[in-house]
Structure 1
Amino acid sequence: MQTNPEVGDSIVAAGIRTNYHDQGKGPAVLLIHGSGPGVTAWANWRLTIPALSPHFRVVAPDMVGFGETQRPEGHRYSMQSWLAHLLGLLDALDIERAHVVGNSFGGALALALAIHAPQRVGKLVLMGSAGVSFPITEGLDAVWGYEPSIDTMRGLLDIFAFDRTRVTDELAKLRYEASIRPGYQEAFSQMFPAPRQRWVDALASPETAIRSLAHDTLIVHGRDDRVIPLDASLRLHRLIDRSQLHVFGQCGHWTQIEHAARFNRLVIDHFSEPNA
């Protein structure tokens, strides 16, 4: 009997055996996780999926290179390959159009998906999102430069969370153990090697393309985020005409965890409102 909650359903998407969670009925909502070491869709969205699934069909995949999804030998991790994986997943699940929520790295993918396949995306939520260029923060450089140890993982969790009481030794141990599962660190170390400013830039969409977006967009950011600077979301808000920005005080990079109830209510309301 399967006891690991991070393991969901399995399907081949763009030729890649993909682990994903699929709960609820109604309009489809695609959740795209961030890029921390040992991250999975379930770790990222465990408080979001049960809140959204009474209202929507919620699909949360482990992106290629992360979690329980297959890591094809010789795979080249890039914006193009991640976009192909997302579109392949929507096709495999026969989802013509989905609202999309992207966190951090996942926000950059969500933004790029809306630009490259606008007909496949309903409304957008960008949370602590990359997707514009900015000078890499010490926090993000530390996340992408992770070398496995419990102490290092504890230090990263301190960077992610504003409320340090959420960063327990048990959580650090769990995330460390996740980061050293077979193949995890090998794939992770290939994605964002130093110098890492180039990967911030590689995840950025052209500002002219961002400005052309017609999707209703909710932008959410923690005021005290040490991984992705608040200025990135301020710029996205200026660029996207049909956007609203919600900034949480006393909040780091984990809005969906540190302020779960309020975040979930914002998302549900955003996706439930008729188009303006």
Structure 2
Amino acid sequence: MTDHETWSDEQLTTAVTVDGHDLEVAYHEAGPNDADEPPVVFVHGIPTWSFLWRGVVPAVAEERRTIAPDMLGYGNSEMTDGFDRSIRAQELMLEDLLDGLGIETATLVAHDIGGGVALRYAAHNPNAVEKLVLSNVVCYDSWPVEFIANLGLPETAEMDDDDLEEQLDGAFAGGAYGEADPEFVEGMKAPWLTPEGKVSLSRNAVATNTNHTTELDYGSITAETLLLWAEDDVMQPYEYAERLADDLQNAELSPLSDAYHWVVEDRAETYAERLVSFLEG
């Protein structure tokens, strides 16, 4: 069994209600359930899924309960047509998921559009977020990038399997700093290499809505925040981390060199060390 198959096998599922739709969410849970500290919730971006956090979750789960959901339309969560996949809807998913799990306060760790979800959640639920970790996240008008915008074209759903896989190889293998781990590349591609997955990927991409981050009052976010950001990313450049540091009430910059957009994979060990240190505070 491959690493991503093992991760999928370990996932649990639950139902959430978003905009009146009852939808299934898959999530990975690890760590002690009786910990005194709030759980750590990991939120991925596009076109990834919770497997993105494979190199970080184990270090955190030694002391803290961890929850890593697949967003709606991603990974092993619901992929059927007929529901919104925007970060507005993903925020509602996260809220209902945490409520269903009995989690009143959490630390959020987020990447890419998962960061847009986390920023919205922290702005709208300031008392529910203990700490916030943002890594090369979408914010303000920093997105969508051309690669994702193109995936939202109708042709994606009808694309030849080999052509789609070639594009994803370029995103995950070509987007790594140095030689990519084949298991990372295969794991990231896996959810999209089915007929349902191709359609869902297109729907996810077209749902990227910049208005959902330009409308936010960033100054209302009170959570202690760590901007654990890859300096060499061209998709969500470091200047956005600096802007967030100015606008958030309590934010610390923590740049990571020798890392592109997939910073969680490029610098997994250092990322985990800094994250654990921040959590221990």
Q: 1:114 to 1:156 in 2, by over 3 A?
A: same
Give 1:5's aligned residue.
7
Mapping 1:129-140, distance limit 5 Å: 129-134=137-142, 136-138=144-146, 140=148
How many residue pairs get aligned? The number is 263
Letter in 2 for 1:149: L
Letter of the aligned partner of 1:180 in structure 2? L
Partner of 2:135: 127
Counterpart of 1:128 in 2: which secondary structure? strand
Q: Gaps spanning 5+ residues in structure 1: where?
A: none
Identity over aligned pairs, percent: 23
**1:144 positional shift:** 5.9
Equivalent pair of 2:76/2:191 in contact (CA under 8 Å): no
Q: Is the 8 A contact 2:49 2:188 kept in 1?
A: no
- Give the match for residue 233 of structure 1: 241
Q: What letter is aligned with 2:31?
A: G
**Equivalent of 1:31 in 27, 42, 52:** 42
Residues 137 and 226, structure 1, Cα contact 8 Å, conserved in 2: no
Deviation at 1:79, TM superposition (A): 2.6
Name the CA shift for 1:119/1:205 in 2 (closer, same or farther; >3 Å). Answer: farther
CA distance in 2, matches of 1:271, 1:248: 18
Give the drift of 1:6. Answer: 2.1
**Deviation at residue 113 of structure 1 after TM alignment:** 0.4
CA RMSD of aligned residues (A): 2.5
- For 2:116, give the aligned amino acid: A
2:230 to 209, 218, 222: 222
| SS of aligned partner of 1:211 | helix
Q: Residues 167, 141 of structure 1: CA spacing in aligned structure 2 closer, same or farther, 3 A cutoff? A: farther
Partner of 2:180: 166
Q: For structure 2, list consecutive stretches of 5 or more residues without a partner in the other structure.
A: none
Once the two structures are TM-superposed, the CA of residue 270 in structure 1 deviates from its matched residue by 1.3
Find the residue that maps to 2:210 and give its secondary structure.
helix
CA apart distance, 1:167 = 5.5
Q: 1:191 to 1:84 in 2, by over 3 A?
A: same
Question: Offset of 1:262 from its aligned partner?
Answer: 1.4
Find the aligned partners of 1:51 and 1:139 in 2 and give their Cα distance. 32
Aligned partner letter, 2:46 = S
Paired residue type of 2:263: T
State how far apart, in whole Å, the 1-side matches of 2:74 and 2:143 are.
25
Q: CA shift at 1:63, angstroms?
A: 0.7
What's the TM-score, normalizing by structure 1? 0.86
Displacement of 1:73 in angstroms is 3.5
Q: Which residue of 1 aligns with 2:200?
A: 187
